[in-house]
Chain A
Amino acid sequence: MTPQMLTFLVLAAVAVAGAVNVIVLRHPIHSAISLIVVMVSLAGLFLTLEAEFIAALQIIVYAGAIMVLFVFVIMLLNAGEEERTNMSRMARYVGVPLGIVLLGELAYQVGAASLSMTAQPADASAIHGLSMLLFQDFVFPFELTSILILIALLGALVLAQRREGAPAKREQQNAG
């Protein structure tokens, strides 16, 4: 077994175990930590493919920014443990079979495809190529996306802002 294969297997096992943990664990913070573990091991998988830049971005954006907000919100709301429910009839008779079918199909397709796991030779200008694509060839969609995000941000601000003169909604706080 080559070292590359070994690293891949370990990282893949950690990623899958983390992903299962996200669903199985009952406390939101534990699930969030598991999700961070998944992100980090995905970054490790990118590293084994010699995509250093993508790996760093994966950690900075997902583990470092998005998940911090998740954890922050969970802490702020002081969310307690989730309770396990019995599956609804819909989930039991439709969801489970469909899930199994999807899993089988994915396994079949991945098994049939001839994917090679060999790393492409590291390209020193990978960042250069990526930024040329992002800021030269596809600059219009890129800017459009950022404006879209800006609009969403402003919308959230407007919705969250209390109206001038409107009384604070006490009863909602008490209910929450």
Chain B
Amino acid sequence: MASILLVSLIKVAVLLFFVLTAVAYLVWFERKVAAHLQGRWGPYRVGPHGLLQPLADGAKFLLKEDVTPSSVDRFVYFIAPLVTMTLAISAIAMIPFGPAEIRIFGVSTPLVVANINIGLLAIFAITSVGVYGVALAGWSSNSKYSLLGGLRSSAQMVSYELSLTLSVVGVLLLAGSFNLSELITRQGGFSWGFLPQWNLFSPPFPQVLGFVCYFISAIAETNRAPFDLAEAESEIVAGYHTEYSSFKFAMFFLGEYASMITVACLATILFLGGWLSPFPQTAGLYWTHYIPSAVLALAGIGLIIDGVLYRQAFGRVVLPVLGLVVCALSFLCTRPGVIDGIQGPFWFLAKILFVLFVYVWVRWTLPRFRYDQLMRFGWKFLFPLALANVVLTSLAVVMRK
């Protein structure tokens, strides 16, 4: 009992560390991608390639003066950012990162903090409560812009939650389980020997419609462009977090990026086969097991070359060292004990990164919706589409039986 508790605590601490780091670097990633999409350089000053920018941002958020406007509702004003961040981070506890079990203190445990039978429902429960963070922040700030942002966001999130939940029903019909690990293992297998049977391509009814619905509603659900009407800066200053400063603002920031990660993880698990490799696991294709170390080796060599040629002395030291570390990791990944264990997490992370890239790409490509367009799109297009997907999938499932 005590050792299980200890193992859980260790897993929570490790996950928390990784999630917070990932969130910090996701911000860096977004700024870099955005800059390159617009023909700029992005963060470049703090550390080589701006790699220390997240640290600088964190320090700034911690050290800035925390201004509380005079007529806010203090209690609600204080708990709203807490609610947002806590819920966004705790949803990640349900995500399984790989098929392997690891051993800590003699207790064998899977790569997930909470492997529960209703994992998917639990995540939806947590995200559905996440509306309050934004709504209450908007209300308690006692400012018209905040209130408008909070109102917009709560109406939008309630509307798009419907299509989000409905778009997943097709996957559930195919798999017959709410457990996320089980949902992934059911997607194993290949059609015609090469096309992976991930739910996106799987017979009898590929979940392409479901995936499109899920992805669009997920963007709306996380309040990101083109659905970021809650913080439309050209209309309502900064929406619900107008009156927040310093670390309370940072909490909203963290929450937004953490829920981006959750949504990307869910997209990967539900539609893109989770940790499953896109290559069949046959003897002839065993070389695909070396893809993770090949990718790492290429990245390491690239870092070393880039580092040697870097302008600043600091970068000339740090980047080659980083490159050497990555090369060492790549060598470690070819070792017999490690090579099989690394496959699941590698493919999982690769797919998540791809989804996150698309996420960022969409944000910096499409202009913002108008509010009536947003509502019309959600209710008159996305919702019927998700419903049609449910009907067609259940027909296909019944026909196969």
Contact = CB atoms under 8 A, between A and B. Distances in A.
Contacts of A127: 118, 178
Given A60-B124, A68-B132, A75 B147 contact: yes
Given A36-B132, A52-B118, A127-B178, A59 B76 contact: no
B129 to A, nearest CB: 5
Contacts of B128: 59-60, 63-65, 68
Nearest to A124: B117
Contact of A75 (B121, B122, B151): B151
B125 interface: yes
Given A53-B121, A124-B117, A71 B129 contact: no
Interface string B93-121: 00000000000000000000000111001
A40 B128 CA distance: 12
A124 B177 CA distance: 10
Question: What is the predominant secondary structure among interface residues of chain B facing chain A?
Answer: helix
B136 interface: yes
Nearest to B147: A75
A59 B132 CA distance: 13
A72 B159 CA distance: 13
B135 A56 contact: no
Contacts of B150: 75
Contacts of A124: 117
A59 B130 CA distance: 11
Nearest to A43: B125
Nearest to A76: B151
Interface centre among B116, B124, B132, B161 (most CB of A within 10 A): B132
Interface in B332-388: none
B135 A68 contact: yes
A contact face: mostly helix, strand, loop, or mixed? helix
A45 interface: no
B155 interface: yes
Contacts of A52: 116-118, 122
Given A56-B122, A59-B128, A63-B129, A72 B155 contact: yes
Nearest to A3: B1
A30 B158 CA distance: 21
A84 B76 CA distance: 22
Interface string B176-198: 00100000000000000000000
Interface of B: 73, 75-76, 116-118, 121-122, 124-126, 128-129, 131-132, 135-136, 138-140, 147, 150-151, 154-155, 157-158, 161, 178
Given A65-B128, A68-B128, A72-B154, 4 more contacts: A52-B117, A56-B124, A71-B154, A75-B147
Among all A-B residue pairs, the 9 with the closest Cβ atoms: A64-B128, A59-B125, A56-B121, A56-B125, A52-B118, A60-B125, A75-B139, A72-B154, A56-B118
Interface of A: 27, 29-30, 33, 36, 40, 43, 52-53, 56-57, 59-60, 63-65, 68-69, 71-72, 75-76, 78, 122, 124, 127
10 contacts: A33-B136, A40-B129, A43-B125, A52-B116, A52-B122, A68-B128, A68-B135, A71-B136, A71-B139, A71-B154
